[in-house]
Chain A
Amino acid sequence: MHIVVAIKHIPSIADELPVRHNNIDFDSVDFVLNEWDEHSIEQAVLIKEAVGGTVTVIGVDVIGELDNALHLALAKGADRAVKIAAEEPGADSHQQAKWLAEAIQNMSPDLILSGVQASNDLDGQLGPLIAAYLDLPYIGGTSAIEVTNGKAMVLKEFPGGIGMRYEIALPFVAGVQAAPKPPRYAPVSKVRQIAQTAKVETIEPGEGESGGLRFLKMAPPVVTGHAEMIQGTAKEIAARIVELLKSRGLL
């Protein structure tokens, strides 16, 4: 059982997002691992623990700092880490998926996982694009994947707490919404140790092909409304809120 997890290094939305030339000013933002990739990595390791096999984590190194994320994945139980050294912070999902699909094809995976979405997936997510390029089916929004005898039982989430179960013949691509368990924690000491000893394989990117979106403008949303802001200390804010609730008959 070979599970490949395709991850994405993306601008952190926790910080300011300065814009330059109709796109993010990539030089002035931090890059982080897409939060759903933590779930896809966890899902992969859970399957490995259940049925054996190996987990390969692969991502496009868009700014040359992917090693941290790869080391973390290794510390959590992945066996092999691969980066595609593109150093193109603006590489879109199509471009990244093309590179990834090419590399993954040579790995003969039984199952490919990705995060269900990333906040910079303007041209779509990696998972379905990789599936399209490899001529495989794709299912996203998964919250549990179990593998037995060349098949997977997959639970996909729908709104309102509804789930649908599918039986899927391997190989296929899944976009993980959540692993059945919260992503495990890897102690810093272990990550440090791995950073010193682990080998991250490097692949040079082949031909990429962008998703064909021309960027005309990027800006914070034009706000039609904004909250009336309550100023002051926590006590003053609390007092004002209580007063507000009383005046509305909510208390």
Chain B
Amino acid sequence: MSGDVMVITEHMEGKFSDVSFELVGKARELAEAFGGESIALVLGGGVDASVFASHATLHVADAALNHFNPEAYARVIEALVKERSPRLVMFGWTVIGMDLAAWLSGRMGVPCVAYAKDVRVENGALIVSSQAYGGKLIAEVSPEGEMAIVACLAGSFPAEAGHGSTQATVIPSPVDLGGLKMKFLEVIKPEAGDVDITTQTKLVAVGRGIGGKENIELAEELAEKLGAVVCASRPVVDAGWLPRTRQVGKSGLKVKPKLYFMLGISGAPEHLEGMKDAELIIAINTDKKAPIFNVAHYGAVADLFEVTEAMLELL
């Protein structure tokens, strides 16, 4: 068993995601504590892999990995992890890492920590803080055994520390990538046409607390008075109350408006990922323990309908 820390990086359309750099920066620090090396793993061609501050970068440039293919990625990672026996394997808790981390854990029989916010080494032991229960509780856990997998929430570590120019070593795929059950077919881009919420300076964001499609109008009215545009959390979009183009968060869009006015959104980590850098965040929620109040600049424990009606009277 080595003291190495392996990072599974991710990229789309030739660009690595921020979380890849965040993980590499953290991996360097952890590898030093374990007396090993940080190894960035890049899967798929069409990217410049020599952009990390890792001790080493391995690049499996096989074309079958150019687009994310969960099965192909999983098999290659499993083989490389078996071959190299790192102390720690790091994924992002992203739409990519979420497909891989627990699967690898089940295959290898090594512990996995999801929703990780912080990873550290104390007296040689690995300690992970994990943001469970929709952000309402932080669990501090120590994975048993000599190897562990952690999947970290995006935005948990500074990305700067991960940028560098370590020359990537191209290696052949350790497994045969023919005969896979999963075949990538195509990328589907979102339809243009709706307002672009990422360019708005003011947003009124509605969550499940809005209660139904018939109430969206009220939010629209408030938005109009404020010179804002309405956006939403995921459940509102899943329910069909607003189009996908209005969704903010992990699987939606990242926004950074001057005003983010929130009605009935709890503040789940997946939503925060998309808006936590807004300049002024005001949240209305009936639950005084809603996690959003730890992030908002101003908050009120109140019924969103009453506050909205009262604001409409004033505006």
- Which residues of chain A have a CB within 8 Å of any CB of chain B? 11, 13-14, 16-17, 19, 24, 39, 93-94, 97, 116-117, 119-125, 127-133, 137-141, 153, 155-169, 172, 175, 177-178, 182, 211-223, 225-231, 234-235, 237-239, 241-242, 244-245, 248, 250-251
Contact = CB atoms under 8 A, between A and B. Distances in A.
8 contacts: A129-B105, A164-B68, A212-B145, A215-B141, A216-B140, A221-B294, A230-B300, A248-B259
Interface in B86-121: 95, 98-107, 110-115
Interface in B250-293: 250-254, 258-259, 280-284, 287, 289, 291-293
A201 B251 CA distance: 37
A168 B111 contact: no
B114 A226 contact: no
Contact of A219 (B138, B180, B282): B138
Given A129-B105, A237-B302, A11 B252 contact: no
A17 B134 CA distance: 11
Nearest to B269: A119
B135 A164 contact: no
B176 interface: no
Given A139-B71, A213-B143, A227-B292, 11 more contacts: A122-B114, A122-B139, A125-B114, A127-B102, A128-B102, A141-B98, A141-B99, A212-B144, A214-B142, A241-B300, A244-B282
B188 A178 contact: no
A24 to B, nearest CB: 8
Prevailing SS type, chain B contact patch:
mixed
Contacts of B282: 241, 244
Residue among A133, A157, A166 with the most chain B CB within 10 A?
Answer: A166
Interface in B230-245: 238-240, 244-245
Nearest to B258: A250
Contacts of A11: 133
Interface residues of B, number: 97
Given A166-B184, A229-B293, A160 B98 contact: no
A211 B111 contact: yes
Contact of A122 (B69, B113, B186): B113
B300 A229 contact: yes
A234 B138 contact: no
A228 to B, nearest CB: 5
Contacts of A235: 310
A121 B116 CA distance: 11
B182 A139 contact: yes
A241 B314 CA distance: 10
A168 to B, nearest CB: 5
A156 B95 contact: yes
B171 interface: no
A234 B307 contact: yes
A216 B141 CA distance: 5
A226 B289 CA distance: 11
B141 A214 contact: yes
Contacts of B303: 234
Nearest to B243: A161
Contacts of A159: 95, 250-254
A158 B249 CA distance: 11
A160 B252 contact: yes
Interface string B173-192: 00000001111111111100
A92 to B, nearest CB: 10
A168 B182 contact: yes
Interface stretch (B27-35, B36-44, B52-60, B124-132): B124-132
B147 to A, nearest CB: 10
Nearest to A229: B299
Contacts of B182: 137, 139, 166-169, 172
